[in-house]
Amino acid sequence: MTGEASTRVVHLVHETVSVVVDVSGGVPSIVHWGAPLSGSDAATLTAMTARPLTHGSLDLVPPLQIVPQHSLGVLARPGLQGHRPGGRDWAPRFSECDVRATGRSVTTVSHDRIAKLRLETHLELTESGALRASATVTNEGDTRFLLDALTVALPVPSSARDLTTYSGRWSRESTTHRQTIDHGAWTTENRTGRTSHEYPPTLWWSTVDAREWGGEVWGCHLAWSGNHSLLAEVMPDGRRYAQLGELLMPGEVCLDPGASYATPVVVGAYTSGGFTLASWVMHEHVRTAARDTAASPRTRKVLLNTWEATYFDHDTEQLKALADAAADVGIERFVLDDGWFGARRNDRAGLGDWVVSREVYPQGLAPLIAHVRSRGMDFGIWVEPEMVNRDSDLVRAHPEWVLHSPDYEPVMARHQLLLDLTNEAAFSHIYGQLDALLRDHDIAFVKWDMNRPLIHASAADGTAGAHRQTLAFYRLLDVLRAAHPRVEFESCASGGGRIDHSVLSRTVRAWTSDCNDPLERQRIQRGVGMWVPNEMLGMHVGARVSHTTGRSQSIEMRAITAMFGWMGVECDPRKLDDHERTVLRTAIALHKQHRELLHGGLTVRFDLDDDTALAHGVMSHDASEALLSYMQMTTSPWLVAPRWRINGLDPERTYTVAHLPLGRLGGIGHTLPDWMNSPLRCTGRELAVVGLQPPSMWPESGMLVHLAS
Ligand code: DGJ
């Protein structure tokens, strides 16, 4: 696990992955990112992979560097784009670099003495085998350098012919798409000013045969919560790469003499073992980032969020009764959503005034919090600090604090505007209010929402503001966390509009989606679950009739779908019938019983031979235990479902396989498969090779299976 440096080649070695980096040019080129090659001589690998010159091409083979350089003739999208006033220095060339290789990391520093720019790059393999890549440009000239883009490119071999990407919208985040791509490019540009529902910042190259448990996979994720661009290209010369970085608006980053710009970190995940194993690399990366910044609570408490139970209808006595019903089913945290402050009786007023409304809480929040605490729960609260309504005391006093483009009428969304957090006075004001809220109340958890995109958003000087606003958001969150280290923060943006590894190094979880319909949730969670572990994803049991789809599902399906993440409830337990309440109580108890496994284990997903079902679960790191779910999403084309091959377990171990009953099993069979009647003993190999026979189930119903050795 050491970096081996030969003259101009550095080999970053991990037991699961090798990264061979040629640093002989001014910018590193990755010669190999893939299967481990420990013992191989890095210089030999470079010689093996050197490309020949051909007719019809340049007189040199332009390297595909991690910041591709147009000045060397490579046809990839240039990694550094910009110019000085008058248009000069638009295509820099960095031709020599200083190299510092330590352990599993390499840093290079190079200069373009003509363009007077300095470029620093950093590549690092983490303890868990994730590749972290970033670059920083510094203006060493005496005029301004207008930066259009600085992005990082990671090459993949020609066997990486399939590309998996994501799309989404409010209430239907992280929809997975897979295609074979042999020429041209796939690209997305996110201008929403937040990570977005529409363009999740993750993609996976893979071999065509890659499945959950086999095949080579190369994942890339951009750890950034603002605008971004993603590109996956097959160049005409056959080379393939992914390029990720922040999307800068015109004039958004102008580097004064001496100033620098650093890219967000691109996280790479390679495995030869399929998508499930690739997801583990991403999961460990974000878990480590959260641990390093102390954003990992010991126990992720089952919570009730009041939004879909009460919306803006706040009444202390009613909320106390709701808290009683919550405690009765085993809830551990009561989160008071939107509507408790200022003139916020609906979504047209009050944002920006983070002071408890005396109209709805004549005695403040203290009596409600005391009641919640007396029922053994802790208390959480909703805020949306980056936003204001025009109808607010804040905007009446400081219209100049609104982020907008001067002289233009701003585009509205949900009747709200953005607060310019780059304005120090506005920042201090909002910090002061939130700090006071947390100081004055016994608050354990803050749900931090962001319900509109940044459209046409200029800072006070009239220049594009998304980059600075994103950094200011991080700063506000960081200073609040530092002042209140025991408070846990959740990232929410109308559901899953801000889920990435940067925000998740600061928050304990993300609200996955406003859609609690389990039919949708199964697929949303499976999508985002590729780069975020279950315990960081809020998964709630919603009302019988889903508020966002109008569909209804059984309490069993709702509960099984929510149990695998950071579990919560997003409905009024008083409105459940007796059966629903009993099942919910049982599911919460089961979740608590298995919480250590669910929240610390390895996510496992399975390839089924029946596309109408989905199966996933969590396995302990030593493969001694697993809790799995099998969900029949729609009717199966077959009366009897194909066997479910359960991979990932220890082939040599013998497991006790047991059905964990929860409420009613909706089924069309006269009999159940034998193993469901009495626990079965079989090996991990038998489970993977032969598979387990699922029962014949109704659509929209599922079951839980426990395995222990
Ligand atoms: C959007 C969030 O996703 C919901 O859960 C809720 O908090 C509302 N905002 C409140 O306005």
Regarding the beta carbon of 261 and ligand 1, being less than 6 Å apart is answered: no
Q: Give the chain's length.
A: 709
Nearest CA to ligand 1 atom 9: 494
One of 162, 514, 517, 572 is an active-site residue; which one? 514
Instruction: Please name the residue whose Cα sits nearest to atom 6 of ligand 1.
Output: 307
- Distance, CA 615 to ligand 1 centroid (Å)? 29
Distance (Å, whole) CA 172 – CA 170? 6
570 lines ligand 1 (CB under 6 A): no
CB of residue 448 inside a 6 A radius of ligand 1: no
Q: How far is the CA of 415 from the centre of ligand 1 (A)?
A: 14
Q: Is 610 a catalytic residue?
A: no
Whether 5-292 shares its CATH topology with 303-600 is answered no
Average confidence (pLDDT) over 508-516: 98
Q: Band of the pLDDT at 5, cuts 50, 70, 90?
A: very low
441-498 pLDDT, tens digit per residue, is 999 999 999 999 999 999 888 999 999 999 999 999 999 999 999 999 999 999 999 9
Residue 634: per-residue pLDDT: 97
Distance 6 CA to ligand 1 centre (A): 54
Residue whose CA is at the smallest distance from ligand 1 atom 11:
338
**Where does the pLDDT of residue 557 fall: very low under 50, low under 70, confident under 90, or very high at 90 and above?**
very high
Determine if ligand 1 sits within 6 Å of the CB of residue 308. no
Give the model's pLDDT for residue 4.
46
User: Is the CB–ligand 1 distance for residue 337 below 6 Å?
Assistant: yes
Q: Is the pLDDT of residue 141 over 80?
A: yes
Whole-number mean pLDDT of the chain? Answer: 96
Q: How many helices (H) and strands (E) does the chain have?
A: 14, 37
- Residue 417 identity: L
Q: How far is the CA of 338 from the centre of ligand 1 (A)?
A: 7
Digit-coded pLDDT (tens) for 160-202: 999 999 999 999 999 999 999 999 999 999 999 999 999 999 9
User: What percentage of the chain has pLDDT greater than the value 70?
Assistant: 99
Active site residue 162: no
Separation between Cα atoms, residue 540 and residue 282, nearest integer Å: 23
pLDDT digits (tens, 9 = 90+) for 358-397: 999 999 999 999 999 999 999 999 999 999 999 999 999 9
Q: What is the CATH number of domain 5-292?
A: 2.70.98.60
Q: Which of 511, 515, 524, 537 to mutate to test the pocket of ligand 1 (most atoms within 8 A of CB)?
A: 511
Contact at 8 Å (CB) between 89 and 114?
yes
State the distance from the centre of ligand 1 to the C-alpha of 448, rounded, in angstroms: 9
Ligand 1: residue whose CA is nearest its atom 10 = 338
The residues near 495 (Cβ < 8 Å, ≥ 6 apart) are 170, 171, 173, 197, 511, 512, 513, 514, 515
Burial of 550 (0-12, 13-18, 19+ CB in 10 A): exposed
**What average pLDDT does the segment 661-673 reach?**
91
pLDDT value at residue 42 = 74
- What pLDDT, in 10s, does the model give residues 237-260? 999 999 999 999 999 999 999 999
pLDDT tens digit sequence for 63-105: 999 999 999 999 999 999 999 999 999 999 998 899 999 999 9
Instruction: List the catalytic residue out of 420, 449, 517, 572.
Output: 449
The closest of 64, 214, 70 to 153, measured between CA atoms, is 64
Q: Is 399:410 a contact under the CB 8 Å cutoff?
A: no
CB of residue 307 inside a 6 A radius of ligand 1: yes
Residue 171: phi and psi, rounded to 5, are 75, 5
Is 277 in contact with 306 (CB distance < 8 Å)?
no
Domain over 303-600 is classified CATH 3.20.20.70? yes
Angle (CA) 117 119 121, round 5°: 175
Per-residue pLDDT at 410 exceeds 70? yes
Q: What is the mean pLDDT of residues 552-559?
A: 98
- DSSP strands (E only) in 247-389: 253-255, 260-262, 265-271, 303-305, 333-336, 378-383, 387-389
User: What pLDDT is attached to residue 330?
Assistant: 98
Residue 669 has pLDDT above 90, yes or no: no
CA of 490 to the centre of ligand 1 (A): 12
314 alpha-carbon distance from chain centroid: 32
pLDDT over 50 at 574, yes or no: yes
Domain boundaries, the chain: 5-292, 303-600, 603-708
Residue 246 Cβ < 6 Å to ligand 1: no
Q: How confident is the model at residue 40 (pLDDT cuts 50, 70, 90)?
A: confident
Which of 446, 494, 540 is the best mutation target for the ligand 1 pocket, counting ligand atoms within 8 Å of the beta carbon and taking the most? Answer: 494
Q: Which residues contact 536 (CB under 8 A, 6 or more apart)?
A: 286, 290, 504, 508, 509, 510, 566
The verdict on domain 603-708 having CATH code 3.90.380.10 is no
> How far is the CA of 376 from the CAs of 128, 331, 369, in angstroms?
38, 9, 11
604 backbone φψ class: left, alpha, beta (φ>0; ψ -120 to 50): beta
Whether residue 494 has its Cβ less than 6 Å from ligand 1: yes
pLDDT band at residue 406, thresholds of 50, 70 and 90? confident
Predicted confidence band of residue 39 (pLDDT cuts 50, 70, 90):
confident
